[in-house]
Amino acid sequence: MTDRRYVIDEMISAKEIAARIEALCREIQTEFKDTDKLVVVGLLRGSFVFIADLVRELDLPIEVDFLEASSYGDGMESSREVRILKDLRGAIEGRDVLLVEDIVDTGHTLHHVTNLLQSRNPARLRTIALLDKPSRREVDMKANWTGFEIPDEFVVGYGIDYAQRNRNLPYIGKVRFP
Ligand code: IMP
């Protein structure tokens, strides 16, 4: 299906994303105002653009680390089985951690990864997702902060891909097969 032609309709503009990130960062700063250092953990690969904008807006002492989990492969359906493909470089025991996800869809990834990080005994673990598709949920999970709730549409752009393409779009668009 990856060679089928599809069109992308803009759903959330770059300007709207930037404004939302500013507001989210004010809340995150309030939550972590007393931190000596916050470890911002990006879930690869979909969160790489979001985390880049987020950390530049955060007025806190931070460190950045990455974790890669398997997700959709090259298709449009979640595999439900979450595997860790790349682990963190640093230890997080006793540290403040902010886990950054691109989309919470079925919730399996967030569930699996938060359990994994929690088992390492961080001081505080909070989660943020740029997008949330609540109607698709299979596991009762919600990020502490969400950028935008969206309907059950397949989206790309701003770091998010369809079969590894379209990550470089500056906005969030929905994929449509005409
Ligand atoms: P979950 O485990 O079903 O919540 O899946 C989360 C992951 O699936 C996200 O981190 C994305 O990588 C991927 N995903 C979910 N929805 C979409 C989408 O609309 N477009 C591209 N990737 C998606």
**Does the Cβ of 8 fall within 6 Å of ligand 1?**
no
Residue 44's alpha-carbon distances to 16, 102, 108, 132, 163, in angstroms, are: 23, 9, 15, 17, 14
- Residue of 2, 76, 105, 158 with the most ligand 1 atoms within 8 Å of its CB, for mutation: 105
pLDDT in tens, 147-162: 999 999 999 999 999 9
> Which residue is catalytic, options 105, 140, 152, 161?
105
The reported pTM is 0.95
Q: How confident is the model at residue 73 (pLDDT cuts 50, 70, 90)?
A: low
> For the chain, which domains are there?
14-150 (3.40.50.2020)
Residue ID of nearest Cα to ligand 1 atom 11: 103
65 in active site: no
State the pLDDT at residue 79: 65
